[in-house]
Amino acid sequence: MGELAALELEHKAAAVRAQLAGALGQHGRLVYSNSLGAEAMVLTDIIWSYLPQIDVFSIDTGRLYEETYELLEKLQRRYQRTIRVVYPDARALERLVAHQGVNGFYHSLEARLECCRIRKVEPFKRAIAGFSAWITGVRREQSPARARGQAVEWDAEHGLYKISPLLDWTEAEVWQYIRARRLPYNRLHDRQFPSIGCSPCTRAIQPGESRRAGRWWWEQPESRECGLQPKAPPAAVPA
């Protein structure tokens, strides 16, 4: 990376730090939903290096790749900090498997969304309870729905603000930051997995496919979200 590109990247990283510091002052209790993806490496580095008072959690759905668990351990060793890991409700999960089977989510969109609800959405709601704003690593490039997002918006579904500090970052900038800071990352990224979720629902992408084509690949593109990100344009910020 050239000197000019390095300066531009540091400027963008400084803007993220300033945005999050300002959000702490405005909203008080902030929580970061760490997906353990490439963008998460950038935000984890910024938060744990400069703003450690921000709470960081990650959801273990019980179906993650082994490489994802390895990354979780590497992160905690590097920063000597602990990510708060949140799990699905055991009884709800038992009922889901009894009703659908182990991989019943392949059979219909409704079944898949119910699996995501129990394994991801409900744990997420528990994890953000009591906080004033949550932080996400989504970027405009990732999908048409995410392109409509705002850097700060009211998340009406969950009743708190949603902050997206990397919204206008490019994928190239994310990886420039990771390499410049020598950050750990999920080894699956080196095997054509730009977006990584649960192992049964994520595959490597093929040449020419979109960056999120490997997520829930058997569904239509417009349905390929887990339920954490808004499906409609952002709601007006409450007065």
Residue 116 among the catalytic residues: no
| Cα gap 25→229, rounded to integer Å | 25
3-state helix, strand, coil in the chain (%, to 5): 50, 10, 40
| Cα gap 90→122, rounded to integer Å | 12
Q: What are phi and psi of 114, to 5 degrees?
A: -65, -40
| Cα gap 179→176, rounded to integer Å | 5
Set 116, 198, 201, 226: catalytic member? 226
| Cα gap 55→93, rounded to integer Å | 26
For the annotated catalytic residues, the residue numbers are 226
